[in-house]
Amino acid sequence: MVVIKGIEYYLPEQTELNNSGDKLTDKIGINQRHIAKKDEFASDLGIAAANILFEKNNISRTDVDYLIYCTQSPEYYLPSTACILQDKLGLSTSIGALDVNLGCSGYVYGLSLAKALIQTGQAKNVLFITADTYSKFINNQDRSVKPLFGDGATATLLSESSSIYGLQSFVFGTDGTGMNNLIVPAGGLRNPISEFNLQEEIDSFGNVRSNSNLYMNGPEIFNFSLREVPKSINELMEKEGFSIEDYDFFVFHQANQFMLEYLRKKLKIESDKFSIQVNDCGNTVSSSIPIALKRELLNGKIKKGDRVMMVGFGVGYSWAATSIVWHE
């Protein structure tokens, strides 16, 4: 089986508070977000998370033989940031290293890639890093996204094991027709940064943004999530031969409290079996599931032998679900 040997996370020191007592703040359940400094980038956060993983879990860098880096905030078009991370983390030059451009579903996708690499004998120990700095895409006057997103990074080590526990089945989904509902329209080769794309406009709700900023159609993202997440969960349960009651704990992408509670009630999941970890860090995109997973492990909510379901969903549209039987 393939097991998670360790998970750690890093949040930038700089923080921003949402308006306490504000109606929106109460609804989304996010009071504080961690924001990268001007000269602090996603790879810097990823390096910090990986170093914590090595130090706290007594993991040798020489044991890593593959590196997967998931981000939508790369510093360069090329080279792959994973190559830069290999050097800065002091990893062997004999490893494989690649970038994955995925957001809210990225952690589950990365787990599936790591499992495949290990089970096919291509790797024994995969270091999987997630890191995003969405704050650098957000206009400070855009209240539709600014209170939601925080920056952060995680590092997970996956290894082969003779244990009967570990990662189980996966299901995936993709629907590119939703691409324009969560997008940074300008900045790539199709629509480069220009004077035109830097011009700010005010929408009907008073939010200010340019084409170089993050845009999210909140209602459409919400509808997509309510449509596809339950379907993917039912598909996973059918694949594994279980019902919702057979899972001991649930860690979904931490979009916001309102969406999570809506999904929890729709799926009839007990509140004490369901993770909500957004209050002090917000939506950290690809890092949201592993941050929540680590915190629930520390809280004692997840124990050895527990069957934990993880579901990622969002930008793309892209979604994925998996389960893991915890081995420690």
* Annotated catalytic residue, options 34, 253, 256, 281: 253
Cα–Cα distance measured from residue 17 to residue 36, given in angstroms and rounded to the nearest whole number = 14
pLDDT band (50, 70, 90) for residue 168: very high
Short-list 41, 71, 34, CA closest to 286: 71
pLDDT score of 325: 98
Q: What is the pLDDT confidence band of residue 147, given thresholds at 50, 70 and 90?
A: very high
- Supply the pTM of this predicted model: 0.97
pLDDT, mean of residues 179-202: 96
The encoded tokens of residue 258 equal: 């309102």
**Known catalytic residue: 283?**
yes
Pick the catalytic residue: 31, 34, 104, 213?
Answer: 104
| Beta strand pairing call for 66-70 and 32-34 | unpaired
Indicate if the pLDDT at residue 52 is higher than 90: yes
2-164: which CATH topology? Peroxisomal Thiolase; Chain A, domain 1 (3.40.47)
| 281 belongs to the catalytic site | no
- Among 67, 108, 149, smallest CA distance to 290 is for 108
Phi-psi region of 327 (alpha: psi -120 to 50; beta: other; left: phi over 0): alpha
Taking CA 39 as the corner, what is the angle to CA 35 and CA 43, rounded to the nearest 5 degrees? 75
User: Averaged over 126-132, what is the pLDDT?
Assistant: 98
| Sequence-ordered alpha helix ranges (H) in the chain | 23-28, 42-56, 81-88, 106-119, 218-240, 257-267, 288-298
Question: How does residue 22 score in pLDDT terms, banded at 50, 70 and 90?
Answer: confident
pLDDT of residue 313: 98
* Residue 58 burial (CB count, 10 A): 7
Q: How far apart are CA 55 and CA 200, in angstroms?
A: 45
Residue spans per domain, the chain = 2-164, 168-325
pLDDT digits (tens, 9 = 90+) for 270-296: 999 999 999 999 999 999 999 999 999
Q: For residue 153, how many C-alpha atoms fall within 13 Å in the half-sphere facing its CB?
A: 30
Task: Given the residues 18, 181, 213, 283, select the one marked as catalytic.
Answer: 283
What digits encode the pLDDT tens for the residues 106-121?
999 999 999 999 999 9
Instruction: Say what the pLDDT of residue 64 is.
Output: 98
Beta-bridged to residue 7, according to DSSP, are 156
CATH number for the segment(s) 168-325? 3.40.47.10
Give the separation between CA 274 and CA 248, rounded to whole angstroms.
Answer: 9
pLDDT reading at 166 higher than 90: yes
State residue 163's pLDDT score. Answer: 87
C-alpha 317/C-alpha 103 separation (Å) is 10
> Which amino acid does the sequence have at 209?
R
327 catalytic per annotation: no
Q: Is the pLDDT of residue 65 over 90?
A: yes
Residue 77 has pLDDT above 80, yes or no: yes
> Rounded distance, CA 275 to CA 261, Å?
10
